[in-house]
Amino acid sequence: MADAPQTLTFTDYLPERFAKLEALLQSKGFKAYGSVGEVKEFGADVSYAYDGEANLTLLVRSAPHFHSMAGFVLNLSKSVNGVQ
């Protein structure tokens, strides 16, 4: 049985910070461009939406191969929060 999708919401995520997150993802080979999209790599399936002002929402539909959903969501949250 597959894990239920998880939604992560980040507030106070200013445009400069989002640009840094986008650049970080691209530097790691993830195809993340624009304020709305999906990243599907290594079994992970994550969509994102940024309102251009301060709110970033991630919908995690599946974790990468060999990772639990809970562990992936926790690490993803820490990584996104860690971008300054």
Domain boundaries along the sequence of the chain: 6-82
Task: Specify the pLDDT at position 33.
Answer: 87
The reported pLDDT for the residue numbered 47 is 96
- Residue identified by tokens 């400069």 is 16
* HSE-up of residue 84 (Cα within 13 Å, Cβ side): 1
Question: Is the separation of the CB atoms in 58 and 69 below 8 Å?
Answer: no
- Does the pTM surpass 0.85? The reply is yes
Strands annotated E in 2-84: 6-10, 36-41, 44-50, 56-62
Digitized pLDDT (tens) for each residue of the chain, 84 residues in all: 578 999 999 999 999 999 999 999 888 888 888 999 999 988 899 999 999 999 999 999 999 989 999 999 999 999 999 999
pLDDT at 1: 58
C-alpha to C-alpha distance for 4 and 55, rounded to whole angstroms: 23
